Amino acid sequence: MNKIFAVAGVVIKELYRRKDFYVLFVLTIIICLIMGSMNVFNDREIIRYVKEICLLLIWISSLIIAITTTARQIPAEREQRTLLPLLAKPLSRTELVVGKFLGCWIVCGLALVCFYAFFGVLAASREHHWPLLNYAQAAFLHWMALGVVIALALLGSLVFAAPSSNATICFSIVAAILCLGRYLDKLALATPEPIRSIVYSLYFSIPHFEIPFDMRNLIIHDWPLIDWKFIWLLGLYLLAYIAFFLTAACLIFRRKALN
């Protein structure tokens, strides 16, 4: 585990020292601040509207951070040839993949804490209450969903040569799941066989990001807390996808020639 943490530590250090990471962060905060200042009539509906847009923005920003930072990790190591001295050390390729994943996931977790804390302060300044546990449930599932996205981007970085094509494909997949994932079962019902079976299998095999995405409603509409048992189960569901994509990434990387 020490080697995995060492790799993760360097990933965190890189992202902490890169300037482009902060640009997106500051941009999101500025837009949220502008949105927050829109509540001039102290109307609850307007506050909800602002909260919804701000949370959507946080989701988009976190997806951009997760995909762009992960997609370039291994390709950059190959391009700059830092991968060769690294893998000449007693570090297995599996440890490298897991370390890279962990580093990106921790960075996204830290970014989420900052985003949600900032959003919480902004919302509390208008509503004068802060449902901390609702935030915790939404942020936890958001972080788990980002874990799946990071594992998917890491897998893509081993399949596609260019980080840009990998990032585009990952964005398209995640956007398609968020927008269409929940309707696939209804679509299956309306289609004849064998398309029905294909659409059904797709419905049951994709990671349903729309569930953690909908957790925003806990904060937007001040809904009561969800039983923690379901939150942990959903966490486990997403963890299974993380494990699947990471295993696939490790298997592909193990066979890849580095020359």
Partner 1 sequence: MNDPIMPTILSIQNLRVEYPLRDHKRSVKVAVKNLTLSVSAGEVFGFLGPNGAGKTTTMNVMLGFVNATGGDILLFGTSVRQPIARQRIGYLPEMTYYYKFLTAEELLRYYARLFEIPRPETDRRIDAALKLVELEHARKRLIKTYSKGMQQRVGIAQALINNPDLLILDEPTSGLDPLGRMKVREIIQRLKDEGKTVFFASHELGEVETVCDRVAILHEGELRAEGRVKDLVAEHQCNLEQVFLRVVGFQN
Task: Decide whether 119 or 253 has the Cβ nearer to partner 1.
Answer: 253
Least Å distance between CB 59 and partner 1?
28
Residues forming the site for partner 1 (CB under 8 A): 2-3, 6, 9-10, 13-14, 17-18, 80-82, 84-92, 257-259
Kindly report the CA angle at 120 between 114 and 121, in degrees rounded to 5?
95
Task: Decide whether 44 or 256 has the Cβ nearer to partner 1.
Answer: 256
Radius of gyration of the chain (CA): 20
Task: Decide whether 17 or 129 has the Cβ nearer to partner 1.
Answer: 17
Task: Decide whether 59 or 253 has the Cβ nearer to partner 1.
Answer: 253
The alpha helices in 128-162, defined as continuous H runs, are: 132-159
As a whole number of angstroms, the distance between CA 212 and CA 200 comes to 21
Least Å distance between CB 38 and partner 1?
39
Within 65-106, strands assigned E span none
Least Å distance between CB 24 and partner 1?
18
Least Å distance between CB 243 and partner 1?
22
Task: Decide whether 21 or 200 has the Cβ nearer to partner 1.
Answer: 21
Q: Distances in Å between the alpha carbon of 88 and those of 83, 237, 246?
A: 8, 36, 22
Closest to 107 (Cα-Cα) out of 9, 3, 215, 20: 9
106 in Cβ contact with 8 (< 8 Å): yes
Least Å distance between CB 157 and partner 1?
18
The sign one gets for the Cα dihedral 134, 136, 139, 141 is negative
